[in-house]
Amino acid sequence: MFVMNWFNSILGWLGLANKRAKILFLGLDNAGKTTLLHMLKEKKVAQLEPTQHPHDEELTMGKLKFRVHDLGGHDVARELWSEYFTAVNAIVYLVDCNDRDRFPEAKAELDKLLSNDQLAGVPFLVLGNKIDMQRAASEPELRQALGLQHYLTGKSTRKADLPKGMRPMELYMVSVIRRMGYRDGFVWMAQYID
């Protein structure tokens, strides 16, 4: 409860009173998108089936209301991602840090998103999930594998300090099931939602 109260007070401090946002949860299958959405909504971990069809939830954190679209990450679902790009306020891109064999595939999908004209200027929060696993990549390893070295704007960079025309983008290492790290990522992202 303390964590949610703290998170709600931060959102209020950031001036996100009564704001609405459309956020897409994207990433390869088994990256943790649905688990994160369930954790944000229900505040508990559950055994979930892989997402077969897009679904969305309306969530409230503090005075920020947002509609999250969990679009699935399997090959067929990825073909539908672009249908949801209209009027999107932010992208949360999850990567399974424990599945190093799929880093090239995760990078290829992220590169497609970053080069899509419909998403120009849209903030990207990249979550390296499953850091609680023994083989999980470190933050520098994941940054290198995804080619993010020149894209990240900095965790402490405020919206007012961001160079004009630069896309807000940051990488946070998280464990959704252990409730670690994603709160900080959402606080970072919230400042960029108009």
Q: How far apart are CA 52 and CA 82, in angstroms?
A: 17
Q: Is 164 annotated as a binding residue?
A: no
Q: Is 28 annotated as a binding residue?
A: yes
The pLDDT of residue 35: 84
Residue 50: partners with Cβ closer than 8 Å, 6 or more residues away = 29, 30, 34, 72, 74
Q: How far is CA 170 from CA 38, 54, 59, 76, 93, in A?
A: 23, 25, 22, 27, 10
State pTM to two decimals: 0.83
Residue 41: partners with Cβ closer than 8 Å, 6 or more residues away = 57, 59
Q: Is 30 annotated as a binding residue?
A: yes
Residue 78: partners with Cβ closer than 8 Å, 6 or more residues away = 72, 109
The pLDDT of residue 2: 52
- The low-confidence residues of the chain, meaning pLDDT below 50, are 1
Task: Please give the structure tokens belonging to residue 155.
Answer: 């965790």
pLDDT in tens, 12-34: 555 555 567 889 899 998 888 88
Q: Is 91 annotated as a binding residue?
A: no
Q: Is 34 annotated as a binding residue?
A: yes
The pLDDT of residue 127: 98
Q: Is 108 annotated as a binding residue?
A: no
The pLDDT of residue 194: 73
Centre a 10 Å sphere on the Cβ of residue 194 and count the other Cβ atoms it contains: 7
The pLDDT of residue 53: 58
Ordered by where they begin, the domains of the chain are 2-190 (3.40.50.300)
Q: Is 27 annotated as a binding residue?
A: yes
pLDDT in tens, 114-141: 999 999 999 999 999 999 999 999 999 9
